[in-house]
Amino acid sequence: MVKPDGVQRALVGEVIRRFESKGFILVGLKMMQVSRELAEKHYEVHKERPFFGSLVEFIISAPVVAMVWEGDGVVSAARKIIGATNPLSAEPGTIRGDYGVNIGRNLIHGSDALETAAREISLWFSNDELANWEPTIKPWLYE
């Protein structure tokens, strides 16, 4: 999910470009204004953390772009492409490392495990919003 700061800074295309160029397959994409209920459910695991309130306020403050990417090892590879949570520690070449300076404005969220991804996809998308397609490029990406 490109967070409100990423959308406001016009980095949506850059984020999509990085995932597309890597070879992952886009199966869901939408811009949305997140409800408080969805934001709280999404970040439920951080409910007791001191930053929970401000994080939820931030996520609902302006539109985000939610997306679903498919491919071998996509969850862990995506987190590498995204970079460390704190953009100041994130490696150059990662999205957060190249574009961010503050942990509360780290541009993008990525699911941290397959189970979390499944949970988040069902929270954010309905089935008819997900494309079921086989790109013809696939044999050039996977042997």
Min dist. Cβ of residue 27 to ligand RTP (A): 19
85 binds, among Mg ion, ligand RTP, none (CB under 5 to 8 A by kind): ligand RTP
CA 16, CA 30: separation in Å to the nearest integer?
12
| Minimum CB distance to Mg ion smaller for 89 or for 135 | 89
End-to-end CA distance of the chain: 29
| CA pseudo-torsion sign 102, 103, 104, 105 | positive
* C-alpha torsion sign, points 118, 127, 29, 45: negative
Report the alpha-carbon distance of residue 109 to residue 138 in Å, rounded. 26
**116 binds, options ligand RTP, Mg ion, none, Cβ within 5 to 8 A by partner type:** none
Nearer to Mg ion, 98 or 112 (CB): 112
For residues 30 and 49, which CB has a smaller minimum distance to Mg ion in the complex? 49
Query: Would you call 109 a catalytic residue per the annotation?
Result: yes
Write down the catalytic residue from 109, 112, 117, 125: 109
Active-site residue list: 109
Can you say which residues are annotated as belonging to the binding site for ATP?
3, 51, 79, 85, 96, 106
